[in-house]
């Protein structure tokens, strides 16, 4: 059984933001929301690193647990999806998310929260696959076509890896052995192994 994960090789990410841009374009993510972004650590200092981040599709996903309306749900390969029709914009998922992934449009009364939006692992939502409604609410559904998230597939340095966790783990480890260094799989401990985290 496959387990979908994201892995960003911080030694390879060059902060080109192609992943973020491709994501925005692919799904026509509205103004003000970002499903994927790049964070730079130690900017301008020795040891500077950039990491592309988004929803990590956690194991025992905290957002799913705290959601009061069962808007969030997980699939059997780990992808966490959301149902825009039942979201009430309470923001609980945001407080429970270890990666700051859920996004809220400031479009409603009082400029407060609208319905949550987040990375779908390019797997759409509960609407019928490839329907107009699915595209409008969640963007394209590449998984249904057997493809992987656009952010990883466009990554020119292959820093951002998506797909089966075991396979991307192997690819990464081989790379680290080959080049002789690597700072590890950032975020994996928190995202995928909740009981294990120190």
Partner 1 sequence: MSDAAGGVRGRDFTGYRIAGALSALLFLVLLAWQIVFMLGGGDTVTPEVAWSSAATEGPDTPGARTGGGTLVAETLTARTRLQDERFRTGPSAEGDVPERALDPGTRLTTAPLEDGSSLTAAWAVPDDDSAAMMHESGRVEGRSSLPYANAALFERPFARDWRIGMSDVITHMGALAILGMAFLLSAVLALRGRVPIRRGKSGRTVKRFGFLERATHWLTAISFLGLSFTGLAIAYGETLFVPLGARAMGTLGWWSTWGHVLFAPTFFLGILIMAVMWTAKNLPSRLDAQWLAQGGGFFSDDGPHPPARKFNAGQKLIFWSAILGGLVMVLTGVTLMFPFYWLDLGGMSWAMLIHAAIAVLLIAVFLAHIYIGSVGMHGAVHAMWSGRVDRNWAAEHHDLWLKENASDTEGAR
Instruction: Report the residue number, 73 or 135, with the smaller CB distance to partner 1.
Output: 73
Residues in region 151-170 near partner 1 by CB under 8 A: 152-153, 158, 161-170
Q: Which residues within the stretch 16-55 sit at the binding site for partner 1 (CB under 8 A)?
A: 17, 32, 34, 37-43, 50-51, 53
By the rule CB under 8 A, 187 interacts with partner 1: yes
Q: Which of 44, 4, 16 is nearest to 161 (CA)?
A: 4
Of residues 53 and 140, the one with the C-beta less far from partner 1 = 53
- Give the integer Cα–Cα distance in Å for 191 and 55: 9
SS3 call for 10: coil
Using CB under 8 A as the binding rule, whether residue 171 contacts partner 1 is answered as yes
* Among 187, 63, 40, 41, CA closest to 119: 63
Instruction: State the nearest-atom distance from the C-beta of 133 to partner 1, in Å.
Output: 14
Size of the site for partner 1 (CB under 8 A): 99
Nearest distance from C-beta of residue 146 to partner 1, angstroms: 3
CA distances from 156 to 13, 40, 161 (A): 9, 18, 11
Nearest alpha-carbon partner for 175 in 47, 15, 10 = 10
Question: Distances in Å between the alpha carbon of 89 and those of 27, 83, 86, 95, 106?
Answer: 21, 12, 9, 12, 10
Answer for the pair 8, 24: CB distance below 8 angstroms, yes or no.
no
List beta partners, residue 41. 49
Q: Which residues between 101 and 140 bind partner 1 (CB under 8 A)?
A: 104, 109-113, 129
Query: What's the min distance (Å) between Cβ of 107 and partner 1?
Result: 14
Site string for partner 1, 60-99 (x = CB under 8 A): xxx-xxxxxxxx-xxxxxx--x-x-xxxxxxxx--xxxxx
């Amino acid at each position: 059984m496959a387990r979908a994960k994201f892995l960003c090789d911080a030694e390879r990410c060059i902060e080109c933001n192609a992943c973020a841009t491709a994501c925005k374009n692919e799904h026509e993510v509205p103004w003000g929301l970002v499903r994927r972004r790049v964070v730079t650590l130690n900017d301008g200092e020795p040891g500077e690193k950039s990491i592309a981040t988004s929803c990590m599709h956690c194991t025992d996903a905290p957002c799913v647990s705290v959601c009061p309306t069962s808007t969030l749900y997980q699939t059997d390969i780990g992808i966490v999806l959301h149902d825009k029709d039942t979201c009430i914009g309470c923001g609980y998922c945001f407080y429970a998310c270890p990666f700051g992934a859920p996004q809220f449009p400031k479009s409603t009364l009082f400029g407060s929260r609208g319905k949550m939006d987040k990375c779908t692992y390019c797997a759409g939502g509960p609407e019928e696959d490839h329907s107009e409604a699915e595209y409008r609410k969640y963007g394209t559904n590449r998984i249904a076509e057997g493809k992987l998230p656009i952010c990883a597939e466009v990554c020119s340095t292959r820093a951002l890896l998506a797909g089966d966790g075991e396979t991307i783990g192997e690819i990464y480890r081989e790379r680290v052995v080959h080049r002789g260094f690597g700072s590890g799989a950032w975020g994996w401990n928190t995202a995928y192994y909740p009981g294990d985290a120190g």
